Amino acid sequence: MTNDLYNKIATEKAIEYQQVTGAVTGETIDTQGYQSIMFSILLAAVATADGSNYLTITLYEGDASDMSDESAVAAAYVQGSAVINNTALANTIKEIGYTGYKRYLRLKIAETGTADASMSAIAIKGDPLVTPA
């Protein structure tokens, strides 16, 4: 077994890089074969965000590959949070971890007011059952 991170994780695009000004549904991530997962949300420009105008990123889970049974992940299974409510968040990274047991996950972005941010997200799957990942 190797002792390096490169062989112990896999990454997938969770949200395509885009300017977000409304609701966005991310890619469905299949966690089969991995025991841990984290999402990194990469924020570029955050043009308008404050206490009244913000974006909330929520993690959804399901057993069906088409996410037809999706539901928001209970707070007990979420590590971290991602609310984009300040222009000072430009050029930063927010992280959301998952400790639940469902196979499929995805991020959704909801807008309150008129927030505007350029961002993308990646899923980092770790602790593979078989290495290298």
Indicate whether 56 belongs to any domain.
Answer: yes
Q: Structural domain tally of the chain? A: 1
pLDDT for 126 beyond 90: yes
Indicate whether 123 belongs to any domain.
Answer: yes
Indicate whether 133 belongs to any domain.
Answer: no
Indicate whether 4 belongs to any domain.
Answer: no
- pLDDT tens digits, 31-68: 999 999 999 999 999 988 898 999 999 999 999 999 99
- Give the chain's mean pLDDT: 94
Name the residue range of residue 103's domain.
15-128
Phi and psi torsions of 76, nearest 5°: -65, -20
List the 116-128 sheet strands across, edge first: 9-20, 116-128, 34-48, 92-98, 78-79
The closest alpha carbon to 117, from 4, 15, 6, 11, belongs to 15
Indicate whether 6 belongs to any domain.
Answer: no
- Identify the DSSP state of 49: -
Q: What is the CA radius of gyration of the chain?
A: 15
Which SS3 state, helix, strand or coil, does residue 6 take? coil
CATH number of the structural domain spanning residue 82: 2.60.120.1110
Indicate whether 84 belongs to any domain.
Answer: yes
- Strand partners for 35: none
The closest alpha carbon to 124, from 16, 21, 6, belongs to 6
Reported as a pLDDT band with limits 50, 70 and 90, residue 133 is confident
How many residues belong to the chain? 133
- In this prediction, residues 26-32 reach a mean pLDDT of 98
Indicate whether 10 belongs to any domain.
Answer: no
